């Protein structure tokens, strides 16, 4: 009789939900990032990775992906964000924050929280602080002059995979577009 081999654990995907900017908005965030004065060792976020995280989901077994894509389905409300607050958070995270948190953004965040709970996935207990991370390990960084307000007309939210290992990166798995206007 042969040895019983343990079955391999299912491959997991590291996932999050985000507002994913288009090229023009992303270029505006990159220009803001590039205006900062970074200390040695700072890790500015690559342009193609700039986004606003709605929910970090974490590791999910790949076989659950179709149910997750379906369970997160819903129209994205139409709203716009205006960015104009640059700051440095504890542990050296450089961020750009919107001037206001529109009710539509907060409602979307709450609706996705409920969807994650229904799917049996964790929801972060910390308060939602909408921001775009410009750099990590940036203690002592100084923002440059802020460009004119960055306006972001939100068109969709996305389910995104964080790719493992170097060079890493992100892959948008599914976009949930804004409802069409009548």
Dist. CA 29–CA 46, nearest whole Å: 11
Burial class (CB in 10 A: 0-12, 13-18, 19+), 4: exposed
The pLDDT tens digits for 111-150 are: 999 999 999 999 998 999 999 999 999 999 998 877 677 8
Residues 6+ apart with CB under 8 A from 61: 10, 11, 12, 13
Residue 170 has pLDDT above 80, yes or no: yes
The pLDDT tens digits for 40-69 are: 999 999 999 999 999 999 999 999 999 999
Residue 34 has pLDDT above 70, yes or no: yes
DSSP state of 99: S
Dist. CA 115–CA 19, nearest whole Å: 16
What CATH homologous superfamily does 13-34+48-82+99-128+150-177 map to? Answer: Cyclic phosphodiesterase (3.90.1140.10)
Please pick, among 85, 109, 131, 151, the residue that the annotation labels catalytic: 131
Please pick, among 51, 55, 85, 109, the residue that the annotation labels catalytic: 51
Q: Among this protein's residues, is 51 annotated catalytic?
A: yes
Residues 6+ apart with CB under 8 A from 122: 57, 58, 116
Q: Among this protein's residues, is 131 annotated catalytic?
A: yes
Q: Which of 178, 57, 36 is nearest to 119 (CA)?
A: 57
């Amino acid at each position: 009789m042969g040895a019983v081999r343990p079955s391999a654990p299912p491959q997991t995907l590291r996932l999050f939900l985000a507002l994913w900017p288009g090229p023009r908005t992303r270029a505006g965030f990159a220009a803001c990032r590039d205006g900062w004065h970074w200390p040695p060792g700072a890790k500015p976020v690559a342009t193609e990775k700039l986004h606003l995280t709605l929910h970090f989901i974490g590791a999910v077994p790949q076989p659950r992906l179709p149910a997750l894509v379906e369970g997160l389905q819903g129209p994205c409300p139409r709203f716009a964000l205006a960015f104009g607050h640059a700051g440095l958070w504890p542990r050296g995270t450089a961020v750009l924050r919107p001037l206001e948190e529109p009710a539509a953004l907060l409602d979307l965040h709450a609706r996705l929280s409920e969807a994650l709970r229904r799917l049996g996935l964790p929801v972060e207990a910390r308060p939602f602080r909408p921001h775009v991370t410009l750099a990590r390990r940036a203690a002592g960084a100084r923002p440059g002059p802020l460009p004119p307000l960055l306006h972001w007309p939100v068109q969709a939210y996305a389910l995104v995979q964080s790719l493992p290992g170097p060079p890493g990166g992100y892959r948008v798995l599914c976009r949930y577009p804004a409802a069409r206007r009548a």
